[in-house]
Amino acid sequence: MSREYAALAPSEVRRKDREVADDAWIVALLRRAPLGTLATVAAGQPFINTNMFVFDEAARVIYMHTARSGRTRTNVDAAEPVCFSVTEMGRLLPAERAFSMSVEYTGVVAFGRATVIEDPAEKERVLQLLVDKYFPHLTPERDYATPSDDELGLTAVYRIDIDEWSGKAKVAPDDHPGAFRYGEKGFAQ
């Protein structure tokens, strides 16, 4: 029997045995994930875009940037709800039947609204947060020049205000027979 999904909150997880309701766990995954995927829609057309991002825990927002114009910008300007997802893949889990084969994973989906940051000082602050996340060993003005006003004008910086989120995880016992990591068992290159 199917559930009435339209009546449920977007963050409601179908598999309660895999739901992670611990906000600290969700925050930790948002902090360490290297990439996230933004899903937008405009005029019924869905679109996804994978980006580097930074999670600002104090503000409970996700920041990312892309080119000043494009599908992401057009869809965000339409002011429709968005969702943002991060995931980590664990081990592949073989089984005696193909139907039972599976994979370990952890993931977070955040729901909210995205806006474009227009204030140059805020854009510069957020871009520095991104540089600090991905290049923590580099120092501004010693290792690289900070963005010029012209460079700031060439990028769009997005703020995703999170309304709700959900976490999911599937973890098998350490001794799961034959468990292995993707790429370890002779995958074609």
Walk along the chain (189 residues) and give the pLDDT tens digit of each residue: 466 777 777 777 777 777 788 999 999 999 999 999 999 998 888 999 999 999 999 999 999 998 888 889 999 998 889 999 999 999 999 999 999 999 999 999 999 999 999 999 999 999 999 999 999 999 999 999 998 999 888 899 999 999 999 999 999 999 999 999 998 876 655
- Report d(CA 1, CA 8) in Å as an integer: 16
The enclosing H or E element of 130 equals helix 120-134
Number of continuous H segments (helices) and E segments (strands) in the chain: 4, 9
> Is this structure's pTM higher than 0.95?
no
- CA distances (Å), 65 to each of 24, 38, 161, in order? 25, 11, 15
